[in-house]
């Protein structure tokens, strides 16, 4: 069964997979000449739109894409989101075959997947590796960067795979491969496709990702059998402070949605538009409270500007 499903999935998705070449200014190479890095991109709209990893194209003087049919086209970088390591590219005047996108929230640990990409920048068709989804909602971070909510897979993710799709056998794209752990075997990470959708739409509409911000540091907690998110810090000038929230309060509901984790809190905040208000329900000690929380755009200082050094190009 797998012997048939795997090649069928690869055949269905491969026309949407492109090879990305980034050329950097003179001086970046070992001999003082232009440095070249390779990665992978995925077509997400027929009108020439691609997504890839931000670190694949960051700082490049020129970016080109080699399509499934062998054509090479110069690409324009429309925007990049450091917090998710996703960049949006446009191939002007080029029709693409968009990949079918799935729902990464429906993915289960143990589900078989294939990673497709132009490993090591080798010429020809993309390479394929097979594995399973090892875990969901994984964080990966360092001293001054963090990627959150990632899919972990044991399908091999090699240099050159960055920006390529992680695909179910349905087949549907459930993630964009972004990082590997070089000192471990079978540990790769992908940005969930639901996150990629949000980034793609915001970069097209606004040129940046609009993130709701309430000015808190929070952690999952449990008190008296009630799940919630505990506020560890509340910034004095932030929306949470203006709503009367304090450090130590336990958020249990935002916008009528219960919150028991940071992921659920972020998801609830994204249901509102910037400038709007969401109702919040909280516990202060054993005393319940309600308030209205204004959604503001996250300040630039809260968005990371670097990506993992373990990211493969």
Contact between 121 and 19 under an 8 Å Cβ cutoff? The reply is yes
Q: Is 134 an annotated catalytic residue? A: no
The DSSP symbol for 101 reads: B
In angstroms, rounded to a whole number, what is the distance separating the alpha carbons of residues 268 and 250?
15
Q: Is 118 an annotated catalytic residue? A: no
Contact between 283 and 309 under an 8 Å Cβ cutoff? The reply is no
Active-site entry in 104, 129, 162, 311: 162
- Residue closest to 93 by CA, chosen among 40, 47, 135, 154: 47
Active-site entry in 22, 80, 85, 118: 85
Q: Is 162 an annotated catalytic residue? A: yes
Active-site entry in 16, 19, 55, 80: 55
- Residue closest to 210 by CA, chosen among 116, 297, 115: 297
- From residue 191, alpha-carbon distances to 53, 84, 102, 184, 198 in Å are 9, 7, 13, 19, 12
Contact between 63 and 75 under an 8 Å Cβ cutoff? The reply is yes
- Residue closest to 213 by CA, chosen among 98, 295, 122, 114: 295
Query: What is the set of active-site residues?
Result: 55, 85, 162
């Amino acid at each position: 069964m797998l012997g048939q499903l795997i090649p069928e999935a690869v055949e269905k998705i491969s026309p949407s997979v492109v090879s990305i070449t980034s050329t950097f200014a003179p001086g970046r190479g070992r001999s003082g000449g232009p440095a070249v890095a390779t990665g992978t991109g995925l077509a997400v709209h027929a009108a020439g739109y691609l997504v890839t990893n931000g670190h694949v194209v960051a700082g490049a003087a020129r970016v080109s894409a080699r399509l499934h049919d062998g054509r090479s086209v110069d690409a324009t970088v429309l925007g990049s989101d450091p917090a998710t390591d996703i960049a949006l590219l446009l191939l002007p005047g080029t029709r693409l075959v968009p990949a079918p996108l799935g729902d990464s929230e429906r993915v289960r640990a143990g589900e078989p997947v294939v990673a497709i990409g132009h490993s090591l920048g080798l010429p020809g068709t993309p390479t394929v590796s097979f594995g399973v989804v090892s875990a969901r909602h994984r964080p990966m971070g360092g001293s001054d960067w963090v990627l959150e909510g990632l899919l972990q897979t044991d399908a091999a993710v090699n240099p050159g795979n960055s920006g390529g799709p992680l695909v179910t056998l349905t087949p549907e794209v459930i993630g964009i491969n972004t990082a590997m752990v070089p000192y471990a075997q079978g540990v790769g990470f992908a940005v969930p496709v639901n996150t990629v959708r949000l980034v793609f739409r915001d970069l097209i509409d606004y040129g940046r990702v609009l993130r709701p911000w309430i000015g808190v540091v929070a952690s999952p907690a449990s008190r008296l059998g009630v799940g919630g998110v505990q506020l560890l810090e509340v910034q004095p000038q932030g929306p949470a402070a203006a709503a009367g929230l304090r450090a130590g309060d336990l958020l249990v509901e935002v916008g009528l949605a219960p919150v028991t984790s940071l992921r659920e809190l972020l998801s609830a905040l994204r249901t509102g538009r910037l400038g709007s208000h969401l109702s919040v329900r909280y516990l202060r000690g054993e005393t319940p409270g309600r308030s209205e929380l204004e959604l503001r755009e996250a300040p630039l200082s809260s968005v990371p500007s670097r990506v993992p050094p373990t990211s493969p190009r």
